Structure 1
Amino acid sequence: MTSPESTWDLSPLYGSPDDSKLVADLEAAQQLAQKFRQDFRGRIASERLSPEALVSALKRYEELQRLILKPYFYAQLLFSQDSRPAAHKALLARVRESWSSLAETTLFFELEVLRIEEVLFAALLKNPEVAAYGHYLRQLRAHAPYTLSEEVEQAVKRKDLSGKEAFTQLFEELTSSFRFSFTLPGESEPREVSGEELLALLHHPDGQIRENAFSTFLRKHAEQELPLTACFNNLLLDHGKEVELRGYPDLMTPTHLACETEADMVERMMQVTEANYGLAREYFELKRQLLGLERMKNTDIYAPLGTGGREYTFAQAKTVVLDAFAGFSPQMANMAEKFFTEGRIDAFPAPGKSGGAFCMGMMPGLAPYVLLNHTGNLRDLSTLAHELGHGVHFALSQGQNFFQYQAPLPMAETASVFGEMLLTRSLLDKEPDRQVKIELLCAKLEDIIATTFRQNVLTRFELAAHKKRGAGLLAADDYCDLWWQENARLFGDAVTMIEPYRWGWAYISHFIHSRFYCYSYVFGELLVLALYQKYREDGTDFVPRYLELLAAGGSAPPQTLLKPLGIDLADPEFWQKGYDFVGELLKELRGLVEKP
């Protein structure tokens, strides 16, 4: 099943976990960090700080960050590919500890940047070399009101290693170790399968198989109630205590600062999303009719409409996605193809491998890598387009400096979701079969529902859980009840949830890794619908402006990045326009369904 184009080649990074070059890089990073501290501590916040000194410090800081992050990148990829070997676990622990030590040594730098007098800071930004780092420096200073003394910040970082980071790693090691006993379709005896193989069966044509597979997956998480609940309780408590310690006005403030979003804007977006839950229920009712069901369960949402759904080999998926990208921009397709030719995709499920999919781009100068769990269904085709969209984004932003490479979090999904949209339109335009077109539109609407309405549900659940955890320790049933309530708001009477779905919260890794990350998916999806509408209106003139947007990386706030494309995030009608487009897709689907 595997081939050079479907398995990672990590040798451009290091040869093995005990590569002498990796060890040397870790040691060199620590030495550079100490020298950096000796040379610059106490100079950055000085009223005599010159532009030359600040630029020198920024370049030195970037150099040592690059040195430590390359081993970190390698260790994360190795662990994600297979978390079972002791050498992989040990390396990840070692680089995390090294990173923590380095961060503690260099912590003074960002703290001193916060203490530069405003008049001096404005004067420094007039220097072109300093201005090149302007967005990073301004964004850093936005955290000034919530930053503690260097000693306290060092203590917090030191405790994080054995605190929230340890619980995060526990969650990853535990869930990636899960094996499930299940009788796969066409087999007579149960055998061990991965979680990804079970979740893939949500696309199986037999409703009982779908329900059994998802129930088996969820019950395994219920069996691990104690460690999973402990992970959630401790990570939520840690966040609440940090919010309290730093004096943030709200639980979501750290995320808003990191995302460069306004609380009012995000709340407005979520309220508009909730006002449009009816669109999802309309779709669910239409899907129920298409499936010929008396009632729709949440295990039926992704059911295929044909005899078994169209299957795609990995080679076919590659061809289809690259063709869709090439129809928009040959440059975009060429960048995506390099993931295959340069061995930067790990495609298939395997024991010990992380679930889901991701594209990891660490910094300019290091090529990004993609992890998949390809099983061959249409959703996997969309996932490939999604992750390669991320990959193109990372490739285009290589021209940015280290500190402005990553797009702001709400913009991080722009290229990925746009890639999915290009794929869907390409498939629809080339497909002559009416039934297949219906299936394609259903798949696209299900994706939009998953990345807007469902992510809104996840954000509301997470916020409710954090608030309730602030009042005391939560039992597993507390999480289950909150999860059930928020999902019921979306499904209404249109969808019946299976009982094991009470444990649906327990496998969502976003809750573990990033506080309130999920609203960025809503932002990203609605933004892409607006961008795609612009593409339909402007044609090929839109392409270079879109690629320029991706190439900008994180060099400006979202509203500034989007202004050349005529998008105003402050416009109260902006979010509704995205759902109006969803309504258009529903209308297109109804037209095909009702066509004689």
Structure 2
Amino acid sequence: MERNKYRRVWSLDSVFQSNSNQFINHIQELERSLDKMDGHLAATSISSKEDADYLLNLLKEIDSLKLKLSQASSFITCLLAQSPADQVASVLQGRVAKLKSKYGITLTKFQAIVANISLDIWLDAVELDELKDFQFILAEWREEGATALTSNEKAILSNLSVDGYHAWGQLYQTLMGKLEIEIQLEGKPQKYSIGQALNLRAHSNEEIRKVAHEKLEHKWSEQKESFAKVLNHIAGFRLQLYNFEGTDDVLEEPLRKNRMKKETLEAMWSVVSKNKNAFAQYLNRKASMMGDEKLQFYNFWAPVETKVKEIQYEDAIDLVKDAFRIFGNQLEAFVTTAIEEQWIEAENRSKKSAAAFCAGFPMSEESRIFMTYDGTMKGILTLAHELGHAFHNTAMNGVAGLNRQYPLCIAETASFFAEMIVLDAAIEAAVTKSEKITLLDEKLKRSVMNFMNIHSRFLFEQNFYEERKKGLVSAQRLNELMQEAISDGYRDSLDNVSVHTWLWTPHFYITDAPFYNFPYTFGYLLTYRLYEKAKEIGADFENTYIQLLRDSGKMSMEDLMLKHLNEDITTEAFWEKAMKLCVQDAELFLELTALEIV
């Protein structure tokens, strides 16, 4: 394989030219557009059927503002990920945060106008051909606009959130991005970013995994008081917001944002809880294979085969492309575009952000993928995961900006689906039993992450918020809550766990998305149902899948699955079908490794 065949560093120039005023101009234009929109809204009242056309024009302006703001927000995210210490980008991030707040206020005012339309005019307006495509989101806005808070009160809260809420999330990213640890490898001390150090969890050498774990735990222990303050303030602001809105149910917002019924969430978690034994047995078997009674936390990501050859980045890209080709031509063509247009930042270097992500640029119909590629199968699957997100963005091309706001749970479906395609293709191509066990282990790690790890995060967040309602929660208590949640989530099948998981899990600090945990489990299990149907239908399924993605921003999850799968996801029966396939993976691993135990 030709080395350096594919660039590992992205280019952002097609979005905004570097070293130019293009981005500044974009921000200034957005500021002016928001001011202009405020003027329009102040003079607006929909009081007759003839005003429906004006409503459509306002909606188009809101749509345009949303696209421009998403473009700016993604660009800043990328700048700070590639260089967390970029002071210029940090200042610009502040301006974008204020614009997001201002857009939120503008949207609140528009929602109030929609909420105040009389029922007879409303029923006529939403039946207009031009507005039919926006019926779902308009209904959402009408409902939100009718809540107890006035638009003025919501505007005040939105302004406060810039410095009193979102700023804490930004501080977390800045603090985490600057942290480094030093590890001695091959007799030489080397500095690692947190992202690089976390990647060492998949190193083939157990001693290196253990040292990395211990160094990280020491770093977390040093930093825990600072990060406990950040987490407490994020949660405190959120709880105050809920009080203003007249609710104390911390799941109300995440369920609403995921357009999901509580019955769906409860059915999913019930099925997960009933089927954990198979995955606990897998973890116990892996511990036995490594000579331990219980699996060490730092060995979870370890390959079962100790002599693992590093997978070059070029080979990783080709493996992903070949797997996607089996699924469909459009997915393969998309990967080619992502590579040729330099959408991927994968270089393994220090002083870059830790978390992998995909950023969408809806105005220019592009995406950017950020990760630190480390030469492992885990790295390949992270690449596939983020490409799945980016494919979802591409599938949305041509869809109105307001209808691109799909929930996190369906976003995670697209990413896990891409992982599944790559992983299953690799398992199918495996020649030896050892290769098959190794790849099956990678697959089961994902099941454990979604059924045990994510469940532990969900349990932790639930319990933390209940305690936060009574006052500040100490760093020591956060450790205890995390320990309890991990013990419950993993059925006590891990030893030497990281009680600081609350500190280094970025999802707890995302201010736009509380409870960013259950969407992963939803997406993962749904992927199994989709993948099963894909194998049944064949190549024709790609178009069905793309249509599901295109509809994902304008339907509830229940209606989306009823339309495209003809299934009811509020029932445990739906989730059992998917879980059955996951359990079969665990049973196969146990069967294949039965003779490996001495």
Q: For this structure pair, what is the TM-score category when the shorter chain's length is used for normalisation?
A: over 0.9
Residue pair 2:455, 2:489 contacting (<8 A) in 1 also: no
Partner of 1:233: 232
Listed as ranges, the matches of 1:471-510 within 5 Å are: 471-498=470-497, 501-510=498-507
Give, in whole Å, the separation in 1 of the partners of 2:75 and 2:324: 28
Cα offset, 1:93, TM superposition:
1.7
Q: Which amino acid aligns with 1:391?
A: A
Q: Which residue of 1 aligns with 2:582?
A: 582
Amino acid at match of 1:9: S
Q: Is the 8 A contact 1:453 1:522 kept in 2?
A: no
What is the aligned-residue identity percentage?
A: 23
Give the SS at the match of 2:393.
helix
For residues 428-450 of structure 1, the C-alpha deviation after alignment (integer angstroms, 9 at most, x for no partner) is: 11111110100000110101211
Q: Contact 1:364 / 1:397 at 8 angstroms: preserved in 2?
A: no
1:525 aligned partner: 524
Contact 1:370 1:391 in 2 (8 A): yes
Residue of structure 1 in register with 2:89 after alignment: 88
| Distance in structure 2 (CA, Å) of the matches to 1:236 and 1:62 | 30
Spell out the pairing of 1:23-422 with structure 2 (5 A cutoff). 23-47=24-48, 50-105=51-106, 107-146=108-147, 148-184=149-185, 187-248=186-247, 250-363=249-362, 365-422=364-421
How far does residue 409 in structure 1 lie from its aligned partner after superposition? Answer: 2.1
Structure 2 unaligned regions, length at least 5? none
Alpha-carbon distance, 1:2 to partner: 7.3
When structure 1 is superposed on structure 2, of 446-455 and 337-346 the one drifting more is: 446-455
Shift of 1:541: 3.8
**95-104 vs 201-210, which deviates more?**
95-104
Retained in 1: the 8 A contact 2:191–2:350?
no
1:562 partner amino acid: M
Q: Are 1:15 and 2:14 an aligned pair?
A: no
| Aligned-partner Cα distance in 1 for 2:307–2:314 | 20
Whole-Å separation in 2 of the counterparts to 1:383 and 1:235: 28
| Pairwise CA distance, 1:493 | 4.4
Gap change, CA 1:8 and 1:206, over 3 Å in 2: closer
Q: C-alpha displacement at 1:467, in angstroms?
A: 0.7
Structure 2: how far apart are the matches of 1:249 and 1:46? 36
TM-score for both structures, normalised by structure 1: 0.95
Q: CA deviation at 1:209?
A: 2.4
SS class of match (1:148): coil
Return closer, same or farther for 1:95/1:2 CA change in 2, 3 Å cut-off.
farther
- Structure 2 contact 356–371 (Cα < 8 Å) conserved: yes
Q: Answer whether contact 1:324 1:423 (CA < 8 A) is retained.
A: yes
Paired with 1:529 and 1:426, the residues of 2 have a C-alpha distance of 15
CA contact (8 A) 2:203 2:302 kept: yes
SS in 2 for 1:473: coil
Query: In structure 2, what is the Cα distance between the partners aligned to 1:571 and 1:454?
Result: 23
Give the letter aligned to residue 117 of structure 2.
Answer: I
CA contact (8 A) 2:196 2:348 kept: yes
Distance, in Å, in 2 between the alignment partners of 1:351 and 1:328 is: 35
Q: Which amino acid aligns with 1:571?
A: T
CA–CA distance in structure 2, aligned partners of residues 192 and 245 of structure 1: 46
- In the TM superposition, residue 260 of structure 1 has moved relative to its aligned partner by 0.7
3-state SS of paired residue (1:350): coil
* 1:148 Cα deviation after fit: 1.7
Residue pairs, 1:535-574, within 5 angstroms: 535-563=534-562, 564-574=564-574
Task: Measure the CA separation in 2 of the matches of 1:120 and 1:351.
Answer: 59
Structure 1 residues 3 and 30 mapped into 2: Cα distance closer, same or farther (>3 Å)?
farther
Offset at 1:42?
4.5
- The change in CA–CA distance for 1:569 and 1:295 in structure 2 (over 3 A counts) is closer
CA–CA distance in 2 between the matches of 1:527 and 1:87? 41
* Helix, strand or coil at the partner of 1:299: helix
Contact 1:34 1:105 in 2 (8 A): no
2:449 corresponds to:
450
Deviations 1:155-179 (A, max 9, x none): 1111111111111111010001001
Contact 1:82/1:354, CA 8 A, preserved across alignment: yes
Offset from partner CA, 1:135-160 (integer Å, 9 cap, x none): 22122233245352122111111111
Deviation at 1:406, TM superposition (A): 3.0
Mapped to 1, the partners of 2:147 and 2:505 lie a distance apart of 29
Residue number among 503, 509, 512 corresponding to 1:512 in the alignment: 509
Output the CA distance in 1 between the equivalents of 2:552 and 2:107.
25
Distance 1:331 1:189, change over 3 A: same
Q: What residue identity is the alignment partner of 2:13? A: S
Contact 1:51 1:130 in 2 (8 A): no
CA distance 1:68–1:534, change in 2 (3 Å): closer
Deviating more after overlay: 244-253 vs 480-489: 244-253
Q: Residue 585 of structure 2 aligns to which amino acid in structure 1?
A: L
Specify the SS of the correspondent of 1:373. Answer: coil
Q: Partner letter of residue 33 of structure 1?
A: L
- In 1, Cα distance between the equivalents of 2:566 and 2:71? 38
Paired residue total: 591
